[in-house]
Amino acid sequence: EDQVTQSPEALRLQEGESSSLNCSYTVSGLRGLFWYRQDPGKGPEFLFTLYSAGEEKEKERLKATLTKKESFLHITAPKPEDSATYLCAVQATGNNRKLIWGLGTSLAVNP
């Protein structure tokens, strides 16, 4: 069964304290892995798409990496405005663009 598991469920960091969020996935064939950011009361906001093992993408303090079993979202020197829930989703091959979602990691960055 296709599945996405995110860890930890919640993470509290001090401003400037770098860390990583994990997204483990089980899927028959990977078409793409997506990272989203969701602020309270808002819809998810697209961050990155990764397509193949070894691929990396960066945006400001965020860097996403992908292996054959998991993806990491590295947050370097986070700021309070990085506080949000980060969602991971995978799209399997042949499933008509449907996404399989993880439950997210709630990140709080204290000033």
- Residue 42: count of CB within 10 angstroms of its CB: 9
Closest to other proteins by CB, 94 or 111: 94
Nearest distance from residue 43's CB to other proteins, in Å? 3
Asked if the peptide bond before residue 44 counts as cis, ω within 30 degrees of 0, the response is: no
Closest to other proteins by CB, 42 or 68: 42
Phi/psi at 82 (nearest 5 deg)? -80, -5
The residue ranges that bind other proteins (CB under 8 A) are: 34, 36, 41-49, 87, 89, 96-99, 101-104
* Strand-pair partners of 101: 89
Nearest distance from residue 42's CB to other proteins, in Å? 6
Side-chain half-sphere of 3: how many Cα atoms within 13 Å? 5
Closest to other proteins by CB, 15 or 39: 39
